[in-house]
Amino acid sequence: MTLVGVVGAGVMGVGVAQNLAQTGHDVILVDKDEETLREALTLIERNCRMSRLMGGPEVDAAAVLARITTGVGAKQVAGAEIVIENVTENWDVKRAVHEEMDAACGPETVFVVNTSAIPITKIAAVTGRPDRVVGVHFMNPVPAKPAVELIPGFHTSPDTVERTRDLLTAMGKKAVQVKDSCGFVSNRVLMLTVNEAAFLVHEGVASAADVDEVFRSCFGHPMGPLETADLIGVDTILYSVEVLYEHYADSKYRPCPLLKQMTDAGLHGRKSGRGFHDYDPSGRLVSAGSAN
């Protein structure tokens, strides 16, 4: 049975670890401190118990948790065959983590970069295994989303792509392979949409609730762009837009000031209880349109 390392126990890392454990994989989940890991396990247990209520399958929380062990520091994934990195969309942080992973893991270990914007080739270049580094852009919530973007870097080997695709298939994911380009497909489009929706609220054109209602009622979207921002994390949206702006040097990616203000204020969306909308501790929407 494949032992998979999951580095980063935030929203995405929790989802990846849960998805892996639900599909029979042994997982070593690591982060920078024990408190973060305790909170992650609590969240995984809650998500498993809530799965049926949220329209998903019935999940045995005890069985999922039994497949997950935890550790502090990226070096704890040294024994994993594949490591999935899920740390924040910050180049300095990602670089440091991959350097630590590279020093700890054997040469055959595959590094999967879960990023929404940073080019895979750039990350692979700081390791001694560029042929064993590949990108996978998981969507949130990970256990519920059936597809991912699979992104080989410039040096990624066919064997690495095949091993990663096999793991994704075992996780129940359809892998859509795209070229290595900042933002890939989904976030080249999505981040522009969310950023422009934030500008509408920032400029007083419409409330957050009304912006989302237009997308739900007029276009038939199950979730509006600002609800989506809250689900992903307003801070993550900002970091991703900033990466796009820096990479392409194109004014169309200029981050909305409201995203910066909300991030500084701790209004990060569902994970903080408040973003463009308000949420209860289970993540359910309780009040639309907080950020107006």
149 counts as catalytic: yes
Q: Determine the pLDDT at residue 56.
A: 80
Q: Determine the pLDDT at residue 1.
A: 58
Residue type for position 69: T
Is the CATH code 3.40.50.720 the one for domain 3-177? Answer: yes
φ, ψ dihedrals at 158, nearest 5°: -60, -35
Query: What is the value of pTM for the model shown?
Result: 0.88
Q: Where are the domains of the chain?
A: 3-177, 187-285
Q: Determine the pLDDT at residue 290.
A: 64
In the numeric block, which tokens belong to residue 201?
A: 């609220």
Nearest one of 55, 105, 46 to 81, comparing CA atoms: 105
Cα distance between the two ends of the chain: 50
86 counts as catalytic: no
How far apart are the C-alpha atoms of 127 and 92, rounded to whole Å? 14
221 counts as catalytic: no
Residue 85 annotated as lining a ligand binding site: no
Q: Determine the pLDDT at residue 65.
A: 98
Catalytic-role residue among 85, 149, 227, 242: 149
Instruction: Verify cis geometry, omega within 30 degrees of 0, for the bond prior to 257.
Output: no
90 counts as catalytic: no
| CATH architecture observed for domain 187-285 | Orthogonal Bundle (1.10)
Give 3-state DSSP helix, strand, coil % of the chain, rounded to 5.
50, 15, 35
Average pLDDT for consecutive 10-residue bins of the chain (292 residues)?
A: 91 96 97 97 94 83 98 96 95 96 97 95 98 96 95 98 98 98 96 98 97 97 96 94 95 97 97 95 80 64
CA distances from 207 to 4, 167, 202, 220, 255 (A): 43, 42, 9, 19, 19
Catalytic-role residue among 19, 51, 114, 187: 187
